[in-house]
């Protein structure tokens, strides 16, 4: 059986490394391939490739996570709420979309932070990753504050989350600046970066000045290449707890793997394969 990653552009994918290692570990006759799909070719790729009898599913990445929803037969409720799909399952030619990004992030944060009740979170960015992570946090923490370079996008996401019945948190938003970060972090317990700042090759960039970081704060960077970003290095030096984006990557992959195969994912193998590839200079 085949699984794909569809996106444009794709480049080198840690998902391929991770899933192929997992398939091999369990002796499954599966293979994971990259499929670069231009936006104008998305409908054709879904109908002609993903519905094929030898295809079990796909992961979906930028820029198709929202637009692909229009070509699927069914969408899981959580993916519908997040308004993005990152995993597709082909069940006899019928395609169902899921979102495992939020599941992966929440699991990683819980493992590092502990009980999230009463926690106050600040999220940098308002794109696809921010939508998934903020949705899951809004179900579990007391406050979520979203900061984005375009304040209207942060406000729109804040208003949307606040409108959902499963939202238990107080949601607010602001622009993304040193002053807004400083003010937001004063009472925060968790900082989540979903912006690309610090991602390979621009590894010396950071969205937060080190002087704003402090002990008692959990700093989670969704960037996974490099595994330890400048933000995380400076957070650790400031006494903050840190969480790399590798955990979210692997845990969302675990959820996708189990949807496709119905088997328990070999998590340790998946984690090791990603870390080895990144340590070997993967990008």
Residue 32: give its domain's CATH number.
Answer: 3.40.50.10860
Residues 6+ apart with CB under 8 A from 49: 4, 35, 55
Helix (H, G, I), strand (E, B) or coil at 73: coil
Instruction: Assess contact for 86 and 252: CB atoms under 8 A.
Output: yes
Instruction: Assess contact for 66 and 84: CB atoms under 8 A.
Output: yes
Q: Over 70: is that where the pLDDT of 2 sits?
A: yes
Cis peptide before 122 (omega within 30 of 0): no
Mean pLDDT of the chain: 95
- 143 and 201 together in one domain: yes
> Given 44, 65, 96, 136, which residue is catalytic?
65
Is 65 marked active-site? yes
- 238 and 251 together in one domain: no
- 106 and 210 together in one domain: yes
pLDDT of residue 281: 44
Q: At what angle do helices 245-261 and 14-26 cross, to 10 degrees?
A: 50
Structure tokens at 58: 């796909």
- 76 and 173 together in one domain: no
pLDDT of residue 282: 42
- 215 and 143 together in one domain: yes
- 214 and 112 together in one domain: yes
DSSP per residue over 196-244, as a string?
A: -TT-TT-TT--SS-GGG--TT-EEEE---SSSS-HHHHHHHHTT-EEE-
In the numeric block, the tokens 């996570």 are attached to 65
Could you tell me the pLDDT band of residue 246, with boundaries at 50, 70 and 90? very high
Question: How many Cβ atoms sit within 10 Å of the Cβ of residue 180?
Answer: 19
Structure tokens at 180: 């807004």
Phi and psi for 241 in degrees, rounded to 5?
A: -80, 150
Q: Is the full-model pTM beyond 0.85?
A: yes
> Beta strand 87-91 with 94-98: parallel, antiparallel or unpaired?
antiparallel
Residues 6+ apart with CB under 8 A from 253: 15, 18, 19, 22, 100, 104, 265, 270
Instruction: Assess contact for 135 and 102: CB atoms under 8 A.
Output: yes
- 94 and 110 together in one domain: no
Q: Over 70: is that where the pLDDT of 280 sits?
A: no
- 119 and 60 together in one domain: no
- Residue 214, domain extent: 102-243
- 133 and 209 together in one domain: yes
Rounded to whole angstroms, the Cα distance separating 186 from 5 reads: 40
Rounded to whole angstroms, the Cα distance separating 209 from 37 reads: 37
Could you tell me the pLDDT band of residue 283, with boundaries at 50, 70 and 90? very low
Per residue in 164-212, pLDDT (tens digit) is 999 999 999 999 999 999 999 999 999 999 999 998 888 999 999 999 9
Structure tokens at 253: 């992959």
Q: Over 60: is that where the pLDDT of 74 sits?
A: yes
Instruction: Assess contact for 122 and 192: CB atoms under 8 A.
Output: yes
Per residue in 87-109, pLDDT (tens digit) is 999 999 999 999 999 999 999 99
Q: Which CATH number fits the domain that encloses residue 127?
A: 3.40.50.720
Q: Over 90: is that where the pLDDT of 251 sits?
A: yes
- 152 and 167 together in one domain: yes
- 106 and 239 together in one domain: yes
What total number of domains does the chain contain?
Answer: 2
Using CA atoms in the order 272, 268, 32, 54, what is the torsion angle rounded to 10 degrees? 170
- 227 and 141 together in one domain: yes
pLDDT of residue 11: 75
């Amino acid at each position: 059986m085949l699984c794909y990653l569809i996106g444009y552009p794709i480049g080198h994918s840690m998902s391929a490394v991770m899933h192929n290692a997992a398939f091999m570990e369990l002796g499954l006759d599966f293979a994971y391939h990259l499929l670069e799909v231009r936006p104008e070719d998305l409908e054709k790729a879904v109908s002609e490739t993903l519905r094929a009898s030898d295809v079990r599913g796909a992961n979906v990445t930028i820029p198709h996570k929202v637009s692909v929803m229009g070509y699927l037969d069914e969408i899981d409720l959580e993916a519908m709420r997040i308004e993005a799909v990152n995993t597709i399952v082909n069940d006899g030619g019928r395609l169902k979309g899921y979102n495992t990004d939020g599941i992966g992030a929440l699991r990683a944060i819980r493992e590092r932070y502990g009980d999230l009740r009463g926690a106050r979170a600040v999220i940098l960015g308002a794109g696809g990753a921010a939508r998934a992570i903020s949705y899951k946090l809004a179900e579990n923490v007391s406050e979520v504050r979203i900061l984005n370079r375009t304040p209207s996008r942060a406000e729109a996401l804040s208003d949307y989350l606040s409108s959902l019945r499963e939202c238990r948190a107080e949601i607010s938003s602001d622009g993304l600046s040193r002053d807004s970060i400083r003010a937001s972090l004063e009472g925060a317990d968790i900082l989540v970066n979903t912006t690309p700042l610090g991602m390979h090759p621009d590894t010396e960039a950071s969205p937060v000045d080190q002087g704003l970081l402090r002990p008692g704060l959990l700093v989670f960077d969704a960037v996974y290449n490099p595994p330890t970003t400048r933000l995380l290095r400076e957070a650790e030096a400031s006494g903050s707890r840190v969480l790399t984006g590798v955990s979210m990557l692997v845990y969302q992959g675990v959820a996708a793997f189990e949807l496709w195969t119905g088997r328990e994912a070999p998590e340790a193998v998946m984690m090791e394969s990603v870390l080895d590839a990144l340590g070997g200079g993967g990008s």
